[in-house]
Amino acid sequence: MSKRKVAYFYDSDVGAYTYGLGHPMKPHRIRVTHDLVTAYGMLDKMHVLRAKRATPEVMSSFHTDEYVHFLQNVTPETAERMTFHGTRFLVGEDNPAFEGVFEFCSISAGGSIGAARKITSGAADIAINWAGGLHHAKKREASGFCYINDIVLGILELLRSYPRVLYIDIDCHHGDGVEEAFYTSNRVMTCSFHKFGEYFPGTGTQEDRGRGKGKGYAVNVPLKDGITDESYKSVFQPVISKILETFRPSAVVLQCGSDSLAGDKLGCFNLTMKGHAACVQFMRKQNIPLILLGGGGYTVKNVARTWAFETACALGIEDDIDLNLPWNQYFEWFGPRYRLEVAENNMEDLNVKDGSLERVREKALEQLRNLIP
Ligand code: V1S
Ligand code: CA
Ligand code: ZN
């Protein structure tokens, strides 16, 4: 089966929100991505939808009422008082109370819940929400640029219809919020690949494997700086294959954080656009209902390139894509080469240097062999 029914969620308001001057997270990147998707003529090849915005009630299926109520009411002016001087709900500079923060969250979460519904109804084989993937948000607190955990809400929606859901996270950071939400569940397996060691949020060792009934259902793949396409593939494919064989998920949610690309402002990996997209291609060919979400990604032009290319991968038209960029509203940003590519750089791959990649892979596979279904 080479063609897939693809549902693509996009809300044209999303790009206008701003976390504030100097903040690395730029919702505008979703608009630039959409502009490339449009310029490549992909809109005619999929169902393009504006999701119903997530309501406070829906958000409360994971978050506390008190926290959702706070987000609905906080403004830049009242933030100091409402956070008890930055000690509750929003802590530190990572999560400012920016203008419209609640609407931004309702767009992001609405897209992921809508994506889940398109999958469970059978209307789509693959559903995309580049405004989602905000994996650090906790039940009663914002964290790492994430306020509402659209991923957890999307997975909860999938669990209404499916017995088992696999969550895969290729963002450079650990998917801690999603892991924590399902840590004691054997119906959701979480698997995060991330930089570990003096890096935000500091969690995600291979000893963290889930608890109680969920023991063995959290898989962590901690990595070092400079991982290349080849190294990444050599750990991603065997670990995911083993998970598919043992866990047999009814649906997969793939968080496609693009801060794992070479040259990202906050990331420290060395993946090319094609190496990153290889994860999407590998998941697509498994023929399991699939949701693609965004996440991190701080070098805006590379985020847009990669997510546009991954939209093409979802459609199965990546081989027909002209790697010379078509004219688009942001064309001059893509100079000097004006190409759909993210090249690797000359940083050293610390994962192969000391043999740690092989050890991490073997340990993950060993843990999966011991999983009792
Ligand atoms: N790395 C990093 C980083 N940079 C910032 C930052 C920089 C400028 C600002 F004006 C505001 C924040 N914060 C961080 C990290 C959070 C990274 C979140 C990644 C999110 C994701 O890609 O996984 C998913 C969307 N925060 C920290 O390192 C915490 C601090 C410890 C250091 C930075 N200061 C600003 C806050 C505290
Ligand atoms: Ca990750
Ligand atoms: Zn990240």
Torsion of CA 242, 245, 248, 249, to 10 degrees: 30
Residue % of the chain over a pLDDT of 70: 99
Nearest CA to ligand 1 atom 2: 266
- Using 50, 70 and 90 to split pLDDT, how confident is the model at 248? very high
How many Å lie between the centroid of ligand 2 and the Cα of residue 181? 15
Give residue 92's pLDDT. Answer: 86
Average per-residue pLDDT in the chain?
98
What's the pLDDT score for residue 91? 87
- Predicted confidence band at 373 (pLDDT cuts at 50, 70, 90)? low
Ligand 1 within 6 A of 92 CB? yes
Q: Provide ipTM, 2 decimals.
A: 0.98
**Mean pLDDT, residues 252-280:** 99
What distance in Å separates the CA atoms of residue 40 and residue 92, rounded to the nearest whole number? 40
* Cα–ligand 3 centroid distance for 173 (angstroms): 4
| Catalytic residue list | 136
Question: Which tens digits make up the pLDDT trace of 222-242?
Answer: 999 999 999 999 999 999 999
Question: Is the pLDDT score of 1 beyond 70?
Answer: no
Q: Which of 166, 117, 130, 135 is nearest to 311 (CA)?
A: 130
Both tokens assigned to 221: 């793949």
pLDDT the model gives residue 52: 98
Residue 126 in 3-state DSSP?
strand
Evaluate whether 135 touches 146 at the Cβ level (below 8 Å): yes
Please list, in sequence order, all residues whose beta carbon lies within 8 angstroms of the beta carbon of residue 67, skipping any fewer than 6 positions away. Answer: 89, 139, 140, 141
- Look at residue 34 and tell me whether its pLDDT is greater than 90: yes
List domains and CATH numbers for the chain: 6-369 (3.40.800.20)
Q: Is the CB of 202 under 6 A from ligand 1?
A: no
State the closest ligand 1 atom to the C-alpha of 175, by its place in the atom list counted from 1: 23
User: What pLDDT digit, counting tens, does each position of 213-226 carry?
Assistant: 999 999 999 999 99
Q: Is the pLDDT of residue 318 over 60?
A: yes
Residue 139 confidence (pLDDT) above 60: yes
- Tell me if 354 CB under 6 Å of ligand 1: no
Q: Whose CA is nearest to atom 18 of ligand 1?
A: 144
Which stretch of DSSP H or E encloses residue 31?
helix 28-39
Q: In the chain, at which residue ranges do the beta strands (DSSP E only) sit?
A: 6-9, 47-49, 126-129, 165-169, 188-195, 218-223, 251-255, 290-293
Kindly indicate the confidence band of residue 210, based on its pLDDT and cuts at 50, 70 and 90.
Answer: very high
- Average pLDDT rounded to a whole number, residues 348-363: 97
Tokens encoding 176: 């801690």
- C-alpha of residue 170 to centroid of ligand 3, in Å: 9
